[in-house]
Amino acid sequence: MVTVFSYIALLLSALVITLTCYIGLLKIKLI
């Protein structure tokens, strides 16, 4: 159960990082 929770947390953090980078790239292109 703990391993599953850590795996989900890892996926969520990776998703957040990807979204942040994507939004940053969009802002750079808009400017």
pLDDT, position 23: 95
Q: Residue ranges of the domains in the chain?
A: 1-31
pLDDT, position 8: 97
Reported as a single tens digit per residue, the pLDDT across 1-31 is: 789 999 999 999 999 999 999 999 999 888 7
pLDDT, position 2: 84
Half-sphere exposure of 1 (CA within 13 A, CB side): 0
d(CA 25, CA 7): 27
- Compute how many other C-beta atoms are within 10 angstroms of the C-beta atom of residue 19: 10
**What string of DSSP letters covers the chain?**
-HHHHHHHHHHHHHHHHHHHHHHHHHHHHH-
d(CA 12, CA 18): 10
